[in-house]
Chain A
Amino acid sequence: MSLGPLETARSCRHYAMCKIDYLGRGLCPGAAGRYYVSFYPQGRMDLYAAAASGRLPLTPVLAEVARSCTLCGECDMQCHFVQGLRPSAAASALRELVERLTGTREPEEVPSDPFLDGLREIVGDEWASNDPAHLEAYSDDPCPISRRTVPRYVALPATAAETASIVRHCMNKGIDYAVRGNGSSVMGFVLTPGLVIDTARMRWMEFDEEDWCVRVGAGVSSHDLQRAALARGFLVNAAEPAALYCANMVCSGIFSLFSSSLGTCRDNVLDAEFVSPEGEVFRLCAEGGPDLSFFRMEERGAPGICTEATVRLHPLSGDESGILVPFGDFESALEYARELNASGTGLGIGMLGTEYLSSFIAPVAAQAEALRKILPGKLGIEYSVVVLGDGGTLESASRAADAVLSQEVMRCLILGLPSLSDDGISDILAGLEGDEPPYTLLARPEMLPVLEAVLGPSPEKLASAVDEDLRELYREVYRDPSMTDIFMMNAVRSVSSRMGREGHVVAFIVYVPMDDAEAVRDLDLAFADVAASAGVRGEFGFITPLDRGRRGVMEWDMYLDHTDPEQVRRMQGAMAEAAGMLEELQSKDPRFLWIRYLFNQGFCRKETFLYRRAIGE
């Protein structure tokens, strides 16, 4: 089912995937060199939604944004791949609307003011604006508890010095500011009635392969950093691909499946540069600077604007791959993941629920929905543990498992998914009422030729599931073996945003005692109760073990259509209830920590929040 332009525009989740070239096909040509969110498909959709509602005046920027779209349709592939949306309909409608408006009147320039003049003196005329079209793209996000807030200005500094000058300018003029990464914050933290500082122009990296580190400017996305590191034979601990690395660090530290071996928060940062709230530049490791090492159980403001970070590079052996270990119950999967981590096995480990697995490997929502039923219902897979590592690591992990879906089997399943969704092999496997669950048969290496014959895996087969006009693009994308490579899929996280394809995600992230399966399971069930009583869809997301299996980081997700007021209302209730539940839990049991309290403390040492009791917090 394809949405109309306005519905499409309103459905944008602001995950900013259109700002990174995760498919290797290039970015929106209209956005090249322009940096403002408004020039990306995400911004165009916001602008169309606002303009179509009569909320946006005809300004030079609106006209420029509309006309900069070449209607090449590349955004359709990019957005459809993860969100199932076709932004070109909105971009095209925006162009038509603007052409209609400009046929009757000239775009009206918004006058400058002294504050804006000051900003422009700092960053140059091009990189500070009060044009409503630019501001619109920085005014909202789909979080149910954030409130639309239109800023008065937006500025895009290129250096720490410019950033410091902007901060001092704001101090002098009494203007509030918020710092914006790639626009993927979905919790309302980057909204302000004052100035939005967009760090997108600080997009530079300096690799030091000899000392295994990289300096990263504040405008570099996790995706771009990881790609560049991988190209040099290294890995970084990066998370959400569209998030800017520095911003992500400030927010919460970075946790990913690789955190099981690479740690989180301060573990991967050698140094960082900040602009303090007073407008002074300081370094993390410089003498006399603020000590950000210790976690404090309180809501804290950001230590400053992180303008660069020096990040550890981890060398790869070159034969990294991945396996998926299926399980029929929560406790067994958790214990397997914990034991692997306790024994130091695995470069990356993550226990996933069926929601994630289904969403990640299915190219369209309908197949994800089908897979959500097939995995537990027919194959007996309730949970799975992804293990990433080199050949030796994966051999060890396989020996410790009853059944393993190898890279080859996973590639077969991904590329043959349309056939798996048919009544066929999954029904056959479901009917095999053996002593072992059906997935064990799927995991038998001898079964691969049968599976290949049954599923007929190929880029063509996978592409058959999508809209006809996108099939050739999907075929091209999936001809790249990295798109079905478990290690690469997790390293660059090309499909992780698919979890929000059927509705915006509200993620609850909690550090948990991984070595107490009962307590973790209780929390999982408590979340399920909250979701059920509030009438929202919610599912277990993932757990990654940390610190040799003593602790873990767990994500539990609730989903909503953020354009539906009733669903927003229910989600607000669920969030309030979950917040109360988490507050109570962590106050009683310091082994748990809701990530809310880690916010703005991402540069602390993980031990100081994983073991709060030990340090008297």
Chain B
Amino acid sequence: MTAGPVVIVTGATGFIGGFLTAGLLGAGCSVIALARSGNGRDPGSRIRNLMEFFGIGPGKGPEVVEASLDDPDLGMGRSEARRLGSRADHILHCAADTSFAARRSEQVRRTNVDGLLNLFRTLGGDSHFHHMSTAYAVGSGEGTYTEELADAEGFHNEYERSKHLAERMITGLCGDAGRKLTIYRPSIVYGDSTTGRSLRFNALYYPVRIMVFLRDTFRRDLETSGGSRARRLGIGIDESGKTVIPLTIPHRGGWMNLIPVDYLVASVLRIMESGETGVFHIVNRRENTLDELVEMTGSKFGIRGLRTVLGRRAGGPSPLEVLLDGYIKLYYPYMTDRRRFDDRRTRSVLRGTGVECPGLDSESFGRCMDFAVECGWGSGLRI
């Protein structure tokens, strides 16, 4: 056990929670990970596997406590939860349901709003509460948003709405209880910019994964089965050996705000250390356009024929476009975003620390995608 502050982390088996748990341990904190079973594994083995992923040896990981935010008493009983809450100097709440699908709205709200309420009420204590929100909790408008609670009007999905409601709720709860509160609003998070490592492969990754899947499938058809199915869809191999996949992605301009997880972790740790409260935008001032991402995907995976078009496609979608559209539809607001996030408070804390947000370029994109392919887009991870 280290002598550092005690931090209770929720969502430690998730992407952001996992990287933050490793970061906190590395910073000498004593971490209590609230986790539940999942993917056929108990919380203990999930956390063990997570520590192995980060190269953190046995005995150096967090204390694991099984808990479910769906239960009003977290599934551990109120007195036990109170005892646990009283041990903490900080509570870092990362658990969230990040689905954008309308059909999962109820579950998203239950996890992101009710779950937070259960956590806050049940653990009690007077620790500093840290709430992992999202930059998109500000609503679906345009323009620049500042680091403060927003009066949002519209949302693209229930995820945004629930995070907005959660921010307001936790602000009220902490205010009433006289507890310190810090809200973190990251934009879209991808893998580690230096190693490419990640625990989750949606958002930025998934459209790329689909392209790689299509490339592999149709190359197999072309190389071993005569290629009639590929040719029917206009897919071929050009003289340089690249796979030609004619696929057009319509868009409405705008940009994507992407940050690597290492920047997120470094920022959160510095802000926690500073003791500052309030809202912090953890975002990238160098956004990427859809064109850039399409270009990076094509060149990384040897695919030609991908293009974007401003406005609508001429004609209906091709079968390949149907598949891609199925996913992009929900991410569309984030791929063609017109929101900007003022991060002056974050930069103020980070000033002089050397922590800077790198842009996503072909090199870091390549590293991230190499790792994704290597771990089977997450299927090789056992967390």
Once the chains bind, are B202 and A441 in contact (CB under 8 Å)? no
CB neighbours (8 Å) of A452 from chain B are 229
Once the chains bind, are A433 and B330 in contact (CB under 8 Å)? yes
| Chain B proximity mask over A434-446: 1 for CB below 8 Å, otherwise 0 | 1111000100101
**Which residue of chain A is the closest to B327 with respect to CB atoms?**
A432
Once the chains bind, are B233 and A433 in contact (CB under 8 Å)? no
A579 on the B face (CB < 8 A): no
**Which residue of chain A is the closest to B230 with respect to CB atoms?**
A453
Using a CB–CB cutoff of 8 Å, the interface residues on chain A facing chain B are 328, 423-425, 427-428, 431-437, 441, 444, 446-450, 452-454, 456
**Which residue of chain B is the closest to A448 with respect to CB atoms?**
B319
CB neighbours (8 Å) of B103 from chain A are 328, 435-437
Give, as a whole number of angstroms, the nearest-CB distance from B171 to chain A.
Answer: 29
Question: Could you say which of B99, B229, B317, B376 contacts A433, with CB atoms under 8 Å apart?
Answer: B99
Give, as a whole number of angstroms, the nearest-CB distance from A440 to chain B.
Answer: 8
| Chain A proximity mask over B324-335: 1 for CB below 8 Å, otherwise 0 | 001101100000
**Which residue of chain A is the closest to B101 with respect to CB atoms?**
A433
Once the chains bind, are B327 and A450 in contact (CB under 8 Å)? no
If A441-B322, A444-B322 touch, does A424 touch B101 (CB 8 Å cutoff)? no
Once the chains bind, are A434 and B318 in contact (CB under 8 Å)? no
Once the chains bind, are A433 and B202 in contact (CB under 8 Å)? yes
Give, as a whole number of angstroms, the nearest-CB distance from B112 to chain A.
Answer: 15
Q: How large is the interface on B (under 10, 10 to 19, 20 to 34, 35 or more residues)?
A: 20 to 34
CB neighbours (8 Å) of A428 from chain B are 209-210, 213, 323
CB neighbours (8 Å) of B102 from chain A are 435
CB neighbours (8 Å) of A453 from chain B are 217-218, 221, 229-230, 233
If A434-B101, A435-B102 touch, does A450 touch B209 (CB 8 Å cutoff)? no
In the A-B complex, the 9 residue pairs with the closest CB atoms: A453-B229, A446-B319, A435-B102, A432-B326, A441-B326, A446-B322, A432-B327, A450-B319, A433-B101
Q: Tell me the complex Cα distance, A446–B319, Å.
A: 5
B320 on the A face (CB < 8 A): yes
| Chain A proximity mask over B86-103: 1 for CB below 8 Å, otherwise 0 | 000000000000011111
**Which residue of chain B is the closest to A423 with respect to CB atoms?**
B379
B232 on the A face (CB < 8 A): yes
Give, as a whole number of angstroms, the nearest-CB distance from B314 to chain A.
Answer: 16
Once the chains bind, are A434 and B213 in contact (CB under 8 Å)? no
**Which residue of chain B is the closest to A424 with respect to CB atoms?**
B213
B225 on the A face (CB < 8 A): yes
A-B contact pairs, 7 of them (CB 8 A): A432-B206, A433-B104, A433-B327, A434-B330, A449-B233, A450-B214, A450-B233
Q: Tell me the complex Cα distance, A449–B230, Å.
A: 9
Q: Tell me the complex Cα distance, A431–B206, Å.
A: 8
Give, as a whole number of angstroms, the nearest-CB distance from B330 to chain A.
Answer: 6
Q: Besides A450-B322, A453-B229, 17 other CB < 8 A contacts? A: A328-B103, A424-B213, A424-B217, A427-B379, A428-B213, A428-B323, A431-B327, A432-B327, A433-B99, A433-B101, A433-B202, A435-B330, A446-B322, A448-B319, A449-B319, A450-B323, A456-B225
Give, as a whole number of angstroms, the nearest-CB distance from A330 to chain B.
Answer: 16
CB neighbours (8 Å) of B322 from chain A are 441, 444, 446-447, 450
**Which residue of chain A is the closest to B210 with respect to CB atoms?**
A428
CB neighbours (8 Å) of B210 from chain A are 428
Give, as a whole number of angstroms, the nearest-CB distance from A99 to chain B.
Answer: 49
Question: Could you say which of B100, B213, B317, B327 contacts A446, with CB atoms under 8 Å apart?
Answer: B317
Q: Tell me the complex Cα distance, A431–B328, Å.
A: 11
Once the chains bind, are A454 and B217 in contact (CB under 8 Å)? yes
Q: Tell me the complex Cα distance, A436–B326, Å.
A: 9
Q: Tell me the complex Cα distance, A436–B379, Å.
A: 23
Give, as a whole number of angstroms, the nearest-CB distance from B134 to chain A.
Answer: 16
CB neighbours (8 Å) of A434 from chain B are 101, 326-327, 329-330
CB neighbours (8 Å) of B218 from chain A are 453
Q: Tell me the complex Cα distance, A418–B303, Å.
A: 27
B 220-249 contacts with A by CB, 8 A:
221, 225, 229-230, 232-233
Q: Tell me the complex Cα distance, A423–B96, Å.
A: 26
Q: Tell me the complex Cα distance, A449–B225, Å.
A: 14
Q: Tell me the complex Cα distance, A516–B109, Å.
A: 30
Give, as a whole number of angstroms, the nearest-CB distance from A443 to chain B.
Answer: 11
Q: Tell me the complex Cα distance, A449–B217, Å.
A: 12
Q: Tell me the complex Cα distance, A434–B328, Å.
A: 9
Q: Tell me the complex Cα distance, A454–B376, Å.
A: 17
Once the chains bind, are B323 and A431 in contact (CB under 8 Å)? no
Once the chains bind, are B323 and A447 in contact (CB under 8 Å)? yes
Q: Tell me the complex Cα distance, A432–B218, Å.
A: 20
CB neighbours (8 Å) of B230 from chain A are 453
CB neighbours (8 Å) of B202 from chain A are 431, 433
Question: Could you say which of A423, A433, A441 contacts B100, with CB atoms under 8 Å apart?
Answer: A433
Question: Could you say which of A328, A423, A431, A448 contacts B376, with CB atoms under 8 Å apart?
Answer: A423
Once the chains bind, are A435 and B101 in contact (CB under 8 Å)? yes
CB neighbours (8 Å) of B320 from chain A are 450
Give, as a whole number of angstroms, the nearest-CB distance from B191 to chain A.
Answer: 16
Q: Tell me the complex Cα distance, A448–B230, Å.
A: 12
Q: Tell me the complex Cα distance, A431–B372, Å.
A: 14
| Chain A proximity mask over B273-317: 1 for CB below 8 Å, otherwise 0 | 000000000000000000000000000000000000000000001
**Which residue of chain A is the closest to B329 with respect to CB atoms?**
A434
**Which residue of chain B is the closest to A436 with respect to CB atoms?**
B103
If A446-B317, A452-B229, A453-B221 touch, does A431 touch B209 (CB 8 Å cutoff)? yes
**Which residue of chain A is the closest to B104 with respect to CB atoms?**
A433
**Which residue of chain A is the closest to B229 with respect to CB atoms?**
A453
Q: Tell me the complex Cα distance, A197–B209, Å.
A: 64
Q: Tell me the complex Cα distance, A448–B320, Å.
A: 10
CB neighbours (8 Å) of B209 from chain A are 428, 431
CB neighbours (8 Å) of A448 from chain B are 319
Once the chains bind, are B323 and A441 in contact (CB under 8 Å)? yes
B221, B229, B326 pick with most chain A CB within 10 angstroms: B326
Give, as a whole number of angstroms, the nearest-CB distance from B376 to chain A.
Answer: 7
Q: Tell me the complex Cα distance, A412–B217, Å.
A: 16
**Which residue of chain B is the closest to A458 with respect to CB atoms?**
B225
Give, as a whole number of angstroms, the nearest-CB distance from B276 to chain A.
Answer: 34
**Which residue of chain B is the closest to A433 with respect to CB atoms?**
B101
Q: Tell me the complex Cα distance, A444–B326, Å.
A: 11
A447, A449, A450 pick with most chain B CB within 10 angstroms: A450
Q: Tell me the complex Cα distance, A424–B212, Å.
A: 11
**Which residue of chain B is the closest to A437 with respect to CB atoms?**
B103
**Which residue of chain B is the closest to A419 with respect to CB atoms?**
B217
CB neighbours (8 Å) of B233 from chain A are 449-450, 453
Q: Tell me the complex Cα distance, A352–B79, Å.
A: 46
Q: Tell me the complex Cα distance, A109–B206, Å.
A: 74
| Chain A proximity mask over B259-277: 1 for CB below 8 Å, otherwise 0 | 0000000000000000000
Q: Tell me the complex Cα distance, A441–B101, Å.
A: 14
Once the chains bind, are A447 and B319 in contact (CB under 8 Å)? yes
Give, as a whole number of angstroms, the nearest-CB distance from A564 to chain B.
Answer: 25
CB neighbours (8 Å) of B318 from chain A are 446
Q: Tell me the complex Cα distance, A444–B323, Å.
A: 9
CB neighbours (8 Å) of A441 from chain B are 322-323, 326
CB neighbours (8 Å) of A328 from chain B are 103
Give, as a whole number of angstroms, the nearest-CB distance from B226 to chain A.
Answer: 11
Give, as a whole number of angstroms, the nearest-CB distance from A189 to chain B.
Answer: 42
| Chain A proximity mask over B155-179: 1 for CB below 8 Å, otherwise 0 | 0000000000000000000000000
CB neighbours (8 Å) of A433 from chain B are 99-101, 104, 202, 327, 330
Q: Tell me the complex Cα distance, A436–B100, Å.
A: 11
CB neighbours (8 Å) of A431 from chain B are 202, 206, 209, 327
